[in-house]
Amino acid sequence: MGLKAALSKPFAAFAVWQINKWKHNAVEAQNKTLLKLIASAEATDFGKDHQFSSIKNYSDFKQRVPVRDYEALKPYVDRVVAGAENVLWKGKPLYFAKTSGTTSGVKYIPLSKESMPEHIKAARNAILTYINETGKTDFVNGKMIFLQGSPVLTMKHGVNVGRLSGIVAHHVPNYLQKNRLPSYETNCIEDWEQKVEAIVEETISEDMTLISGIPPWVQMYFDKLSEKASGKKIKDIFKNFSLFIYGGVNFEPYRAKIEQSIGKKLDSIETYPASEGFIAYQDSQKDKGLLLLANAGIFYEFIPADEYHNENPTRLSLESVELNTNYALILNTNAGLWGYSIGDTVKFVSKNPYKIIVTGRIKHFISAFGEHVIGEEVEHALMSVSAEEQVEITEFTVAPQVNPKVGELPYHEWFVEFSAPPKDIKAYSKKVDEALQKKNIYYFDLIEGKILQPLIIRSLQKDAFVNYMKSEGKLGGQNKVPRLSNDRKLADELGRYIV
């Protein structure tokens, strides 16, 4: 056993001791967090506008601070981005995490000097809780790879701007730097396909023991490795590879293919990081629930998903949640997000301790590859191009194709019933794809980085959707065809109606 592996056990035990102090007293930790956040932001513009000085408890808070999504909070964020201080949080942010918006195109999520360390601590503790539970430490002495975005940052009014994963790359602890791959130079490559090729060259001869990343990106890395190694399984390339850490998208569609690529089952840790905060991670190999981080600078609220669009939905703090109920997740953070609807839905699978699973998005969506494409974006792309091309649409739906034919990249598959079809379906499809890229920066990145190929449109027979809904016993009434699905159930059924 190497020195790092030997030291990791007492370090892990200490970290778990600290976690346990709040883990079984999460409601108390949340109440303290709320009051601390309010006190810290009392003198900010937002705090003055919402009478933070008079807030004594959660009931007061709900009365003064409404639930907002990014668009509703944007007037405050725009002032922060423009360089103003003490707007949402004291001083200026440390960073802006650049992410995809719904109607504004790009979101700038503030990260403060208080919030940034929580991202790093949560990622570290996910690994330390694994060590403490399993006693496995051999991977600590090997090489570790974190597939992530470019660490190259830009500057906006004195604040560094980048993707969250690229920002995090600047905060990797010193004790991991020598073990960490790829090199900084390789990490800075913008083109994803080129980057993966370079990562393969750097890692194929190394003793890789821990691999972390978003599943489709990891799968691409595995495919390139296997190709380079004359078809070998990953377990035969990296004989000591023993821990896989993932997050960002639902792993289940990828599990079988990734395990097939590796050639064996191995331990894994699921995480729930977001630009807005590191929310939860899997703290036990015995169950799949994710420990909600109740003492990490975030005060959580929960709205029953079926009430989310009501004028006055029920807002609950942690102590009032129930098991197996779908909740829209609302965040209040130590970077100045208040009553912030992140757009995700979660269910509690345990209340002692509080553990969640991520169940999806509050709206129909596609995020099979981390793109978070929503209905408004696909409707805009399709309808704007159709208006230009004098094309008429009867109905449509979109689904991801995660497992394309051998040699093809994954893609979004559009099933469209035309009443007045385009003259050139390929040219039309190209325009729709370009329009979607303009609306969604994540989708643009995936196409640009050759993670996805451009969308493919399948033209359907007349009355295809009517016949499908009829076959499902859902024709008429308030039944609707979902514009977006994150699985293949509807898509596979509609395959029968392709022209």
**Beta carbons within 10 angstroms of residue 5's beta carbon:** 16
3-state secondary structure 329-393: EEEEECCCCCCEEEEEEEEEEEECCEEEEEEEECCCEECCCCCCEEHHHHHHHHHHHHHHHCCEE
pLDDT band at 256 (very low <50, low <70, confident <90, very high): low
CATH number at residue 484: 3.30.300
Are residue 101 and residue 151 in the same domain, yes or no?
yes
In the block, residue with structure tokens 């990797």: 172
The token duo for 423 is 């003259």
The answer on pLDDT for 479 being more than 60 is: no
pLDDT band at 476 (very low <50, low <70, confident <90, very high): very low
The average pLDDT across 230-245 equals 95
* Structural domains in the chain (count): 2
Peptide bond into 404 cis (omega under 30): no
Task: Give the burial string for 455-466 (b: 16+ CB within 10 Å, else e).
Answer: bbbbbbeeebbe
pLDDT band at 171 (very low <50, low <70, confident <90, very high): confident
Are residue 331 and residue 373 in the same domain, yes or no?
no
Are residue 320 and residue 421 in the same domain, yes or no?
no
Averaged confidence pLDDT in the chain: 90
Domain end marker among 342, 362, 382: 362
Give the pairing type, strands 354-361 and 290-292.
antiparallel
Report the Cα 195 to chain-centroid distance in Å: 21
CATH number at residue 307: 3.40.50.12780
Are residue 232 and residue 372 in the same domain, yes or no?
no
The average pLDDT across 138-158 equals 89
Q: Name the strand (E) or helix (H) holding 266.
A: none
Would you say 331 and 342 are in contact if contact means Cβ atoms under 8 Å apart? yes
Domain end marker among 362, 393, 425: 362
Per-residue pLDDT at 369:
87
Are residue 201 and residue 282 in the same domain, yes or no?
yes
Are residue 371 and residue 413 in the same domain, yes or no?
yes
Cβ within 8 Å of residue 353, ≥6 positions away: 23, 24, 26, 291, 292
Are residue 89 and residue 22 in the same domain, yes or no?
yes
The answer on pLDDT for 313 being more than 70 is: yes
pLDDT band at 101 (very low <50, low <70, confident <90, very high): very low
Predicted confidence (pLDDT) per residue in 107-131, tens digit:
899 999 999 999 999 999 999 999 9
The answer on pLDDT for 34 being more than 70 is: yes
Are residue 144 and residue 201 in the same domain, yes or no?
yes
Cα-based angle 477, 482, 483 (whole degrees, multiple of 5): 130
The token duo for 58 is 């959660």
The token duo for 341 is 């609807």
- Answer with the residue of higher pLDDT: 251 or 93: 93
Domain end marker among 312, 339, 362: 362
Are residue 213 and residue 103 in the same domain, yes or no?
yes
pLDDT band at 160 (very low <50, low <70, confident <90, very high): very high
Are residue 11 and residue 72 in the same domain, yes or no?
yes
The average pLDDT across 221-247 equals 94
Are residue 348 and residue 416 in the same domain, yes or no?
no
Beta bridge partners of 243: 210, 267
The token duo for 265 is 């089952």
The average pLDDT across 408-427 equals 94
Are residue 302 and residue 392 in the same domain, yes or no?
no
Residue 237: which domain range? 1-362
Per-residue pLDDT at 100:
60
Question: Alpha carbon of 307 to those of 156, 288, 312, 338, 373: distances in Å?
Answer: 38, 27, 8, 20, 23
Per-residue pLDDT at 478:
39
